Each structure stands twice: as structure tokens, then as C-alpha cells.
Amino acid sequence: MLFVHPLVSATSATAVSVLVIGVMLLLLALPFWRGSARAAVAEVHPMHCSGCRRCVADCPYDAITMVPHPQRRGFALAEVDADACASCGICVGSCPSSTPFRSMATLVTGIDLPQQPIDDLRRAMRERLAAMTAPIRIVVFGCDQSAAVREVDSDDVAAFSFTCTGQLPPSFVEYALRDGASGVLVCTCPESGCAFRLGERWTAERLAGIRAPVLRSSVEETRWELVACAGYNLTPLRTALAALRRRLDVRGSSK
């Protein structure tokens, strides 16, 4: 406390006492200080959960377990531990019910993020593709932790960003191509660099057809691309986008 003596000499004992008390009160209040609101955790929709356990297998935080289904005897239901859930959405990408090909007016999946429901993506993507008139139309999927994919959004590029790219059901790649996209680019964090541990790995394995749910092998490989970008480095993203555009241009010219 020797530092107090110069302060007393420079000001007054009263001023220093007020300062010390203020600092102590601030330190005491820190444990009760509320930071920014925590993102909503994953939410299970019992009527659309098949009990397949894929979300359990893919969750990097062991935040999901299976319990007896309250409405379907003999079936299991996913249950989320709110304290362990990181709100990354990787479970959404692993859920078979997340496929956009379901003929529901509102797409409801087995497990979803309330703040970024999968139906919002399907609706927004369909609207963007319907409005695009460029000869080559590209859909870009990325995440908020990697390169800012919205920076490449333009008249011929519709960019969508997730909390984690692992939230992307691989069937959305095929759906985009069937719904009017010429090509699809998926941008992830670099290998072993995912902010949510396993998002980039699961995404790559799903698209490669080695981890369920998989991108169907019938989807033409020349029409989609996977690229890894670190932080806000847009160079790999722009390079991959340009390469995909050239490939699609050649494909279109050869028809």
C-alpha cells in the first residue's frame, strides 16, 4: 500500500480514501456484473426428432443426451444440457430432419437454434435465388468465425453466414443447385481451427460423403467447392469463388 502515500501528498487523504473504497466496491461487484446476453441454446422439437443420435455423436461439448420420448413409446428423444451447450448449431447440421427437401410450408427440424432457425435459411435462399438474374448464380455458405462471407455478396452471389458452418445440413448444397444456383461454395475455418472444435471437420466429412448426413454422390462435384479461411482473411475465399465461377463458365459454354 506504499503507493498510497504519494497520492495522499498529491491530493488529500479524503480523496484517496474515496478512490480506494470505489475500487474495492468495483472489485466486489465484478462477480455480479452481467455481460452480453448469452445466445439461446439448441431447442429440441419432439415431433420431428427421430432419435437417431447423430446430434449426440456430433456435439463437441457432450451437451446432448438421449431420454425416453414422452410421446412415442419405445423411441428416444434428444435432450440439451443448457449449461454445456455452446449454441454453435452443429447439431442442426447433423439432424436428418433439417433437409430442405421436406414438403413443409415451415421447415421444422428435430433440433434447431431459436435465434437462427433452419427455415429462415431455406426461405431466404429461395428468395435470393428467385431474384437473381445473372447467368451464373453462386450461393456461398460460411460462418461468423471465419472469413466474412457477406463481403462477397453481390448481384450474382448470395452469401449466408452461420454461427458455425457445421450448422449447414449438406442437403442444402443440393437444394440450392436444384433451386437455381449454378454453383455452391462452402467456407469453413482452417483444419483444427474451428472456434467450436469440430465444425469444419464434420462439414468436410459430410460433404465428402464419409459422415452422416452426407451430400449425395449424385450431386455434380464440379458445381460445388469447399474452402478454408482463417479469421477475416478473404483471399482464399475470393480465390475459390473466382475459380468456381470460371469452372461454371466453362461448364455452361460446353453445353
Give the confidence band of 11 by pLDDT, cuts at 50, 70, 90: low
Grid cell of 50 as nine digits: 427421430
* Average pLDDT over all residues of the chain: 91
**pLDDT at position 232:** 76
Torsion of the alpha carbons at 50, 115, 82 and 230, rounded to the nearest 10 = 100
pLDDT digit string (tens) for 38-60? 889 999 999 999 999 999 999 99
Find the mean pLDDT for residues 178-195. 96
**pLDDT at position 32:** 60
Q: Cα(161)–Cα(148) distance, rounded to whole angstroms?
A: 8
**pLDDT at position 2:** 47
| DSSP assignment string, 4-32 | HHHHHHHS-HHHHHHHHHHHHHHHHHGGG
**pLDDT at position 38:** 80
pLDDT digit string (tens) for 106-133? 999 999 999 999 999 999 999 999 999 9
pLDDT digit string (tens) for 154-164? 999 999 999 99
Characterise 25 by phi-psi region: left (phi > 0), alpha (psi -120 to 50), beta (else): alpha
pLDDT at 35 over 70: no
